[in-house]
């Protein structure tokens, strides 16, 4: 049980960290998938 909870916590930390890093680098899906004619609110 302890191993499973540790794995869940690690997965959450990795996901949040990756999201923050990709946002800072400019590789978010908003920046990469939209063109100049797309308005995202």
**CB-based contacts of 35, cutoff 8 Å, min separation 6:** none
Please tell me the predicted confidence (pLDDT) of residue 14. 98
Reported pTM: 0.63
8 Å CB contact between 11 and 3: no
Please tell me the predicted confidence (pLDDT) of residue 23. 85
Please tell me the predicted confidence (pLDDT) of residue 40. 67
Residues in the chain where the model's pLDDT stays below 50: none
The residue to which tokens 């797309």 are assigned: 38
- The closest alpha carbon to 40, from 25, 23, 19, 31, belongs to 31
8 Å CB contact between 41 and 35: no
8 Å CB contact between 28 and 22: yes
Please tell me the predicted confidence (pLDDT) of residue 41. 64
């Amino acid at each position: 049980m302890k191993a499973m909870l540790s794995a869940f916590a690690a997965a959450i930390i990795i996901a949040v960290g990756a999201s923050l890093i990709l946002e800072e680098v400019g590789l978010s899906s908003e920046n990469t998938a939209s063109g100049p004619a797309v308005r995202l609110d």
